[in-house]
């Protein structure tokens, strides 16, 4: 008796398809083993970061990555550090801070107390930039800032508030372009080849690990800042996160996204009005 093989069993599977399946399995395993959900991150970014991880750790196959990540939590946390994007700078894109001073700061004065969520704060340069701006506007003393990120290592850097002098020098140039009201040297103390952010700026900031893909929202915020994070998510995850930000904001609250991001063609398009299109600042409508 002859046996007829299933057609798919006799056809070669392209290498790219095998790689896609292996990465799907890895992301599913991470979710089931550790509760971190990267399945809706942009696949091109994930693929590239896994390749970088393999090169750094000398792991030649995805199957070895899968097996070791499942059994070695330390290696897992090393891997997810590659998934978080820590491209940031003090007063990065100065025009954004100029727009925040012009459009948002006057409105914050109308609230007796202000809460700001900096989602995806990375190594902290952005949140300290916001704190400096609030200090200069006389608002820092009555503002609570929540700075969150998925990357624990990046959060430790942010908490310490210690940066190389080249970062401080670039930050000083950006600060001057943003509508500076003081000397940037007023906000840090130089120490050998590094600088420490002034403790006045740090005392109102709470740093915490938060996973935008899975964790709950923060409530009753006047401002949510999440710049250059959504570009690494697919459409479904972008909508999920934007819905979370909508829920987190009070009526009339402000959302600030990255310069390559927009709420256009998303689930919240009609629930915000544009405040500054270049700086990507939006205001929550009162519905």
Q: Which position has the token pair 């608002």?
A: 139
Measured distance CA(6)–CA(194) in Å, rounded: 65
Q: pLDDT digit string (tens) for 111-147?
A: 999 999 999 999 999 999 999 999 999 999 999 999 9
The larger pLDDT score, comparing residue 97 to residue 40, is at 97
Q: At what angle do helices 125-136 and 165-177 cross, to 10 degrees?
A: 40
> Which residues are paired to 147 by β-bridges?
118, 207
Model-level pTM?
A: 0.85
Instruction: Please check whether residue 127 is in contact with residue 143, taking contact to mean a CB–CB distance below 8 angstroms.
Output: no
Q: pLDDT digit string (tens) for 254-264?
A: 999 999 899 99
% of the chain exceeding 70 in pLDDT? 94
The CATH T-level fold of domain 94-284 is Rossmann fold (3.40.50)
Please tell me the predicted confidence (pLDDT) of residue 13.
Answer: 58
The per-residue pLDDT of the chain, averaged, comes to 91
């Amino acid at each position: 008796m002859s046996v007829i093989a299933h057609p798919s069993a006799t056809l070669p599977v392209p290498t790219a398809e095998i790689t896609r399946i292996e990465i799907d399995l890895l992301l599913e395993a991470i979710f089931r083993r550790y509760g971190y959900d990267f399945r809706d991150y942009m696949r091109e970014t994930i693929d590239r970061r896994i390749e970088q991880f393999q090169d750094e750790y000398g792991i030649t196959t995805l199957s070895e990555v899968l097996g070791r990540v499942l059994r070695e939590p330390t290696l897992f946390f090393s891997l997810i550090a590659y998934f978080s994007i820590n491209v940031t700078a003090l007063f990065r894109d100065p025009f954004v801070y100029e727009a925040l001073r012009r459009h948002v700061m006057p409105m914050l004065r109308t609230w007796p107390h202000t809460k700001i969520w900096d989602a995806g704060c990375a190594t902290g340069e952005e949140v300290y930039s916001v704190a400096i701006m609030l200090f200069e506007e006389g608002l820092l003393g009555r503002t609570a800032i929540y700075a969150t990120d998925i990357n624990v290592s990046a959060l430790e850097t942010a908490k310490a508030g210690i940066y190389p002098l080249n970062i401080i020098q670039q930050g000083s140039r950006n600060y001057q372009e943003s509508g500076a009201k003081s000397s940037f040297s007023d906000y840090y103390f130089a120490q050998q080849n590094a600088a420490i952010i002034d403790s006045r700026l740090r005392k109102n900031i709470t740093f915490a690990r938060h996973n935008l893909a899975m964790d709950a929202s923060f409530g009753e915020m006047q401002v949510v800042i999440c710049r250059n994070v959504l570009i690494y998510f697919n459409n479904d995850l972008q909508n999920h996160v934007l819905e979370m930000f909508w829920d987190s904001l009070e009526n009339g609250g402000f959302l600030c996204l990255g310069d390559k991001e927009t709420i256009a063609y998303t689930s919240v398009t009609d629930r915000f009005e544009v405040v500054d299109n270049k700086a990507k600042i939006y205001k929550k409508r009162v519905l």
